[in-house]
Amino acid sequence: MNILSKFLTPSRVLVVGFALLILFGTLLLTVLFEATSAFGTVGLSLGLTPDLTVIGKIAIIITITGRVGPLTLAFVLTQKKKNQANYKYLDERMLIG
C-alpha cells in the first residue's frame, strides 16, 4: 500500500477542513486547500495560515514533522557541515602523440 494513500485519506482532509471551517468561518474551498496542503506538506497557502491561533500553528508544525519523520528531521538538524570534498584530483603524466 502506498504510504501517501495511507496517510492522505479524503476523510482526514475533510475532518481537518471542517474543523478549520468551524474555527475560522472562511470559505470551504480555502479551508480544504489549506488542509490538503498541510497533509501533503506542499507549502502552499491561500493566506489562512498566518491567521491561525497558536494551537493551529502547532498542529501544522506537528503535521509537517510527522510527515517528514522525526528521525529524518533530527538527522538534518544535527549534521555538521563538511568542508572536505569527496573527491581528489589524480596526478598523472599523459603521453600525447
Q: Is residue 88 part of a domain?
A: no
* 67, 41 contact by CB (below 8 A): yes
Average pLDDT over residues 76-82: 77
Q: Is residue 43 part of a domain?
A: yes
pLDDT given at position 9: 67
Q: Is residue 13 part of a domain?
A: yes
Domain with 44, as residue range(s), is 8-71
Q: Is residue 48 part of a domain?
A: yes
Task: Please state the domain count of the chain.
Answer: 1
For 16-83, give the secondary structure using H, E and C: HHHHHHHHHCCCHHHHHHHHHHHHHCCCCCCCCHHHCCHHHHHHHHHHHHHHHCHHHHHHHHHCCCCC
pLDDT given at position 7: 58
Whether the predicted model's global pTM rises above the 0.75 cut: no
**pLDDT, tens digit, 9 for 90 and up, residues 42-67:** 778 888 778 777 777 777 677 667 66
